[in-house]
């Protein structure tokens, strides 16, 4: 890629930042609770970089020239603004993307990609999130499989990339199958995981889950 092409590509991505800020309807200035006042574009860049995995606040210091506490406050302030403006997309009951006709479409999409099952619409798994070794209750937080102290979450992902169900956190020692039973999601699947004809649909789990 030539220098001119690099400059054109950079200008293209730079314009995307302004377009995102306009679409997200962010204010011109982001003000943190302690009075730190940041330009909307800088705040959005900090927010986007923070959620680009893997990323720690300490890794962002050379890029943005701000100490970790400010980076944290700015990222949290943008997150709060996002939630205040768009939380209806998460809580609005009219966003019923898990209704039977959509689940049936998911199952067809999974099967068309080569899956043996023709009635599987989602995928369940547990996620281990390591934490610092606690001063108390070390045994219940220790995950023997990963050899770390941790908390665990369980999620069901749809082919669209959205998370259909999230449960946790629970102690790191919990097995995935135990977490599945504890979450109560099996009862929800019996009630709601059906196609338009009332036939049951399933989700897929790895070998950690018994039949």
Do 42 and 71 meet the contact criterion of CB atoms below 8 Å apart? no
Separation CA 194–CA 202 (nearest Å): 8
For every one of its 211 residues, what pLDDT tens digit does the chain have, with 9 covering 90 and above? 565 555 445 455 668 888 888 889 999 999 999 999 999 999 999 999 998 878 899 999 999 999 999 999 999 999 999 989 988 776 654 557 889 999 999 999 999 999 999 999 999 999 999 999 999 889 999 999 999 999 999 999 999 888 899 999 999 999 999 999 999 999 999 999 999 999 999 999 998 888 7
* Residue 144 tokens, joined: 């023997």
Do 36 and 68 meet the contact criterion of CB atoms below 8 Å apart? no
**Apex CA 150: angle with CA 166 and CA 207, to 5°?**
60
């Amino acid at each position: 890629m030539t220098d001119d092409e690099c400059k054109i590509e950079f200008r293209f991505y730079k314009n995307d930042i302004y377009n995102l800020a306009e679409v997200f309807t962010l204010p011109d200035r982001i003000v943190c609770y302690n009075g730190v006042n940041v330009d909307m574009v800088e705040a959005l860049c900090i927010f986007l970089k923070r959620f680009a995995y893997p990323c720690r606040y300490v890794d962002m210091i050379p890029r943005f020239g701000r100490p970790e506490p400010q980076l944290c406050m700015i990222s949290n302030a943008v997150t709060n603004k996002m939630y205040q403006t768009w939380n209806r997309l998460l809580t609005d009951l009219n966003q019923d993307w898990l209704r039977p006709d959509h689940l049936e479409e998911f199952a067809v999409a999974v099967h068309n990609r080569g899956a043996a099952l023709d009635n599987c619409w989602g995928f369940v798994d547990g996620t281990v999130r390591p934490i610092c070794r606690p001063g108390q209750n070390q045994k219940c937080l220790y995950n023997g499989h990963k050899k770390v102290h941790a908390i665990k979450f369980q999620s069901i992902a749809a082919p669209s990339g959205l998370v259909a169900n999230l449960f946790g956190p629970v102690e790191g020692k919990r097995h995935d199958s135990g977490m599945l039973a504890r979450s109560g999601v099996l009862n929800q699947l019996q009630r709601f995981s059906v196609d338009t004809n009332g036939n049951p649909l399933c989700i897929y789990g790895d070998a950690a889950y018994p039949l």
